[in-house]
């Protein structure tokens, strides 16, 4: 669906993206996970033809660069920086963006209504964006990318600065879009979101792609061992193991089942993967 | 919206629909931007009205009266001399009836009157019922003053009449004439003849008596009423309209001048809008939509054109409450050319202004200066000669000139070519430079 090959981009002395190669498969949700400054937004910018790479190529649906206006029908973008007209209402914003895609007026009205519904902004359709909460603006920003039902959707930090309720509704929406067959590139620095949503996750740091695989395989390859904690009358014991189930069975087999008060498994997550790959925490 | 239009090819659709969407969006944003909206639409109207009313208010400017003396007699010359010393009337002697009437049509004179051959003869034959007739024309836009002018002329004639009653020589000659006429009219009723003889005698006595204490200044304001009797007949016609090449109302000056501010408002409102879109992030949506850079610029240009045209139309709409333009078709052409010229300027400015603050401020200041020199502060018609020449460097001047050409300067279509050509040429050059720079530049 989208091929990025050996992309490189620097701003002055900052190397924002450093030789990134990535292939997005049709129908998948691909997560771009990395801390702030990892180069995610720059990567999206190059993927949609907004930022010219210093070197490397981008190919959209095997048809060439998305800088070509004719190919832009294939993609929808929800930029990290909100791109909305504050002085227009939700409906006027969407209606304008739909106009850019040359939709006939009746289709445009239908699509605007359906999209407002999808992001739950129908009750506020006539209100100016100016008065919207962060979450509402994010949802409208996302809606603007969905209007023309693009097969490829690029969402750059779609949950930045939103309340938990809006975040959940955005995550539900992404799942809904995936179930309709949309290919999605989802950028985030929240590993929970990547873990919950993504079929595959690309871990980025300092402009480089460190690993790319399904969440489970990333964890088993780079996450390290699970930690099994058991609490008995005699105290607490922590054991690192590759096979927590076997470890629990062993604990139970060792002694009096009654004596075991609690057993906890701490599975490694993407956070541990990032820690193991970079030596730093994702949250730093 | 093009939905109801005949089916268009998808290619044409995808060219036009986004531009219309951009146009609508920008107009909507302008409508909601109080500052820009005010400065584009209301401020110019306020200026036009304010100065128009201020300059119109102090008592109507004096009457400049052309006088053609075809009689060339002592009496007609005396009449002219008396007119010259009448307050509120400036007398300009004209060699011929044609020259005088043309001057009125061109707005150079308020009115022009002709003292015809036989003026002296007719005014001395008072009692023969032959009232002297003065012909004249008046500027249609100054009809309000026609009453005043007529009043003044009648008053003067009355005073002359009074003088003739108080000047023994004049009365003697008049009564002698009358007596002769009396003798000649054989069929007059004897009783009436006797009565008239008595009257003429008493008039002569009265004149001789009162000559001693006659007013030293025969033109001192007279309060006598004519009692419905007119010593002269004045036939004042309205001059043919339209070919006069001078403003007929202060609005004819102040509203075309205000056009500079309307155009400036439109240019200001849109020259920073690309930059605003960039800083607000919306430009990135435009660049990721399936439209070309050219369409983005075209959308801005279209919105600016509509705004510039409507802002001028609003001004003209207020102007015509008091003062009509001479030519509607030429006015619409002038407004269109002015709008197009300034759209070109906007395109260039919007492309070269690098930031919302700095570059915008500089182009704002430059525009302001050009507008002031182009007739925005001092109306073109009131500029000293050197300044009128210098103002040719300002595109605003050509806009004002084109509008004035249609409103009161009486430009022919050929004369219109110059200001309109300059506007279109300037617009084309600016737009071409802006377009080229824009195509070379990355948007984001
Ligand atoms: N337009 C730009 N000019 C200068 N530096 C930039 C620009 N965009 C990004 N950068 C730098 O490139 C690096 C990557 O930024 P970005 O792609 O925004 O990362 P992320 O989206 O992962 O937070 C950062 O160090 C950032 O400061
Ligand atoms: Mg980012």
The pLDDT assigned to B1 comes to: 43
- Which pLDDT score, from 0 to 100, does residue B2 have? 45
Q: Counting atoms of ligand 1 from 1, which one is nearest the CA of A43? A: 17
CA of A39 to the centre of ligand 2 (A): 7
- Confirm if B394 and B371 have CB atoms less than 8 A apart: yes
Give, in order, the Cα–Cα distances in Å from B204 to each of A180, A216, B163, B166, B219.
120, 136, 13, 9, 22
**Domains along chain B with CATH numbers:** 63-166+214-238 (3.40.1710.10), 251-440 (no CATH)
- Are A141 and A85 in contact, with CB atoms under 8 Å apart? no
- Answer whether B282 sits within 8 Å of A99, measured CB to CB: no
Per-residue pLDDT reduced to its tens digit, A53-68:
999 999 988 888 888 8
A87 C-beta neighbours (distance < 10 Å), count: 16
**A to B CB pairs, distance under 8 Å:** 90
Report yes or no: A69 at the B interface, CB cutoff 8 Å.
yes
Chain position carrying tokens 């909100």? A82
Residue with CA at minimum distance from ligand 1 atom 16: A39
d(CA A266, CA A268) in angstroms, rounded, equals: 6
Is 80 exceeded by the pLDDT of residue A52? yes
The β-bridge partners of A24 are A2
Q: Are B114 and B70 in contact (CB under 8 A)?
A: yes
Partnered with residue B233 across adjacent β-strands are B133
Higher-pLDDT residue of B169, A112: A112
Tokens of B72: 């060339």
Q: For residue B80, what pLDDT is reported? A: 87
Lowest mean pLDDT among A84-88, A239-243, B187-191: B187-191
Closest CA to B278 of B293, B266, B258, B290: B293
Residue B126: per-residue pLDDT: 53
Whether pLDDT at A260 is above 80: no
Confidence at residue B262, expressed as pLDDT on a 0 to 100 scale: 94
Q: What is the pLDDT of residues A174-197, one digit of tens each?
A: 999 999 999 999 999 988 888 889
Stretches where chain B sits below pLDDT 50 are 1-4, 57-59, 212-228, 242
Distance, CA of B444 to CA of B442 (rounded, Å): 6
A111 in Cβ contact with A96 (< 8 Å):
no
CA distance A16 to A11: 7
Nearest residue (CA) to ligand 1, atom 1:
A11
Under 8 Å between Cβ of A121 and A90: yes
Tokens of B223: 């309060």
Cβ < 6 Å from ligand 1: which residues?
A: A 11, 14, 16, 34, 36-42
Residues A130-169: pLDDT tens digits?
Answer: 999 999 999 999 999 999 999 999 999 999 888 888 899 9
A89-107 per-position pLDDT tens digit:
999 999 999 999 998 889 9
Residues with CB under 5 A from ligand 2 (ion): A 40-41, 80
Chain A CB within 8 Å of residue B128 CB: no
pLDDT of res. B380: 81
Q: CA-CA distance, A153 to A183, in Å (whole number)? A: 6
Q: What pLDDT was estimated at residue B223?
A: 39
Instruction: Tell me the C-alpha distance between B80 and B85, whole Å.
Output: 9
- Cα–Cα distance for residue pair A137/A119, rounded to 1 Å: 10
Residue B363: what pLDDT?
75
Q: Give the pLDDT confidence of A10-29 residue by residue, as tens digits.
A: 999 999 999 999 999 999 99
Count Cβ atoms within 10 A of the Cβ of residue B3 and give its class: 0-12 exposed, 13-18 middle, 19 or more buried: exposed
Residues of A in contact with B22 (CB under 8 A): 96, 99-100
Q: In whole angstroms, how far apart are CA B71 and each of A4, B114, B130, B318?
A: 101, 9, 16, 47
| Rounded distance from Cα B209 to ligand 2 centre (Å) | 113
Nearest to B275, CA basis, from B207, B184, B362, B341: B362
What residues pair up with A152 in beta bridges, in sequence order?
A: A75, A183
3-state secondary structure of A1: coil
The residues pairing with A184 across neighbouring beta strands, listed in sequence order, are: A29, A153
What mean pLDDT value characterizes chain A? 89
| Calpha distance B206→A54 (Å, rounded) | 115
Enclosing H/E stretch for B133: strand B133-138
Query: Can you say whether the dihedral through the CA atoms of A177, A180, A182, A187 is positive or negative?
Result: positive
Of A229, A220, A279, give the one whose Cα is nearest residue A251.
A229
What is the layout of strands, in order, in the sheet containing B89-93? B89-93, B63-69, B111-115, B133-138, B233-238
pLDDT digits (tens, 9 = 90+) for B320-365: 888 888 889 999 999 999 999 999 999 998 888 665 555 567 777 8
């Amino acid at each position: 669906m989208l091929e990025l090959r050996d992309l490189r981009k620097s701003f002055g002395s900052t190397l924002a993206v450093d030789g990134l190669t990535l292939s997005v498969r049709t129908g998948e949700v691909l997560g771009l996970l990395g801390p702030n400054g990892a180069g995610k937004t720059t990567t999206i910018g190059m993927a949609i033809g907004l930022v010219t790479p210093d070197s490397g190529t981008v190919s959209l649906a095997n048809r060439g660069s998305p800088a070509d206006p004719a190919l832009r029908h294939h993609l929808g973008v929800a930029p990290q920086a909100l791109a909305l007209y504050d002085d227009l209402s939700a409906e006027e914003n969407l209606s304008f963006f739909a106009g850019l895609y040359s939709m006939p007026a009746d289709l445009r009205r239908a699509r605007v209504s359906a999209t407002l519904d999808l992001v739950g902004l129908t009750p506020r359709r006539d209100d100016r964006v100016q008065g919207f909460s962060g979450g509402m603006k994010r949802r409208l920003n996302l809606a603007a990318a969905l209007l023309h039902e693009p097969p490829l959707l690029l969402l750059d930090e779609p949950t930045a600065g939103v309340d938990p309720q809006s975040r959940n509704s955005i995550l539900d929406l992404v799942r809904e879009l995936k179930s309709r067959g949309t290919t999605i590139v989802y950028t985030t620095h929240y590993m929970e979101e990547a873990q919950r949503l993504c079929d595959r996750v690309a871990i980025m740091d300092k402009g480089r792609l460190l690993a790319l695989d399904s969440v489970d395989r990333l964890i088993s390859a780079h996450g390290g061992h699970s930690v099994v904690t058991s609490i008995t009358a005699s105290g607490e014991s922590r054991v690192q193991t590759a096979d927590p189930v076997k470890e629990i069975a062993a604990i139970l087999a060792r002694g009096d089942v009654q004596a075991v008060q609690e057993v906890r498994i701490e599975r490694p997550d993407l956070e541990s993967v990032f820690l193991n790959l970079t030596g730093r925490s994702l949250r730093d | 919206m093009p939905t109801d239009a005949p089916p268009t090819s998808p290619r044409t659709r995808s060219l036009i629909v986004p531009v219309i969407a951009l146009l609508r969006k920008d107009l909507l944003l302008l409508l909601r931007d109080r500052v820009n909206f005010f400065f584009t639409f209301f401020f110019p109207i306020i200026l036009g009205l304010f100065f128009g009313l201020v300059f119109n208010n102090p008592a109507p400017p004096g009457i400049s009266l052309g006088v053609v003396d075809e009689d060339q007699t002592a009496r007609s010359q005396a009449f002219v001399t008396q007119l010259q010393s009448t307050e509120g009337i400036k007398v300009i002697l004209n060699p011929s009836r044609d020259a005088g009437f043309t001057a009125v049509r061109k707005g150079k004179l308020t009115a022009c009157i002709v003292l015809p051959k036989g003026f002296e003869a007719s005014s001395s034959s008072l009692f023969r019922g032959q009232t002297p007739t003065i012909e004249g024309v008046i500027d249609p836009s100054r009809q309000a003053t026609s009453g005043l002018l007529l009043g003044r002329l009648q008053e003067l004639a009355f005073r002359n009449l009074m003088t003739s009653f108080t000047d023994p020589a004049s009365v003697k000659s008049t009564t002698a004439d009358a007596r002769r006429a009396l003798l000649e009219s054989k069929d007059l009723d004897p009783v009436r003849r006797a009565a008239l003889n008595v009257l003429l005698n008493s008039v002569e006595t009265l004149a001789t008596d009162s000559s001693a204490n006659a007013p030293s200044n025969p033109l001192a304001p007279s309060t006598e009423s004519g009692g419905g009797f007119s010593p002269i007949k004045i036939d004042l016609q309205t001059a043919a309209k339209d070919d006069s090449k001078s403003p007929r109302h202060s609005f004819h000056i102040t509203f075309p001048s205000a056009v500079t501010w309307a155009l400036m408002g439109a240019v200001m409102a849109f020259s920073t809008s690309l930059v605003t879109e960039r800083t607000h992030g919306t430009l990135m949506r435009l660049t990721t939509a399936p439209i070309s850079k050219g369409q983005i610029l075209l959308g801005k240009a279209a919105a600016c054109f509509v705004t510039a045209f409507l802002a001028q139309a609003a001004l003209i709409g207020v102007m015509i409450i008091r003062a009509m333009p001479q030519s509607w078709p030429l006015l619409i052409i002038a407004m269109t050319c002015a709008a197009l010229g300034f759209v070109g300027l906007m395109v260039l400015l919007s492309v070269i202004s690098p930031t919302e603050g700095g570059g915008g401020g500089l182009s704002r200041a430059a525009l302001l200066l050009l507008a002031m020199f182009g007739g925005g502060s001092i109306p073109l018609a009131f500029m000293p000669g050197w300044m009128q020449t210098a103002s040719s460097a300002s595109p605003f001047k050509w806009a004002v000139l084109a509008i004035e050409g249609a409103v009161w300067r009486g430009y022919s279509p050929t004369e219109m070519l110059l200001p309109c050509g300059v506007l279109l040429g300037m617009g084309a050059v600016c737009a071409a430079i802006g377009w080229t720079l824009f195509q070379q530049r990355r948007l984001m």
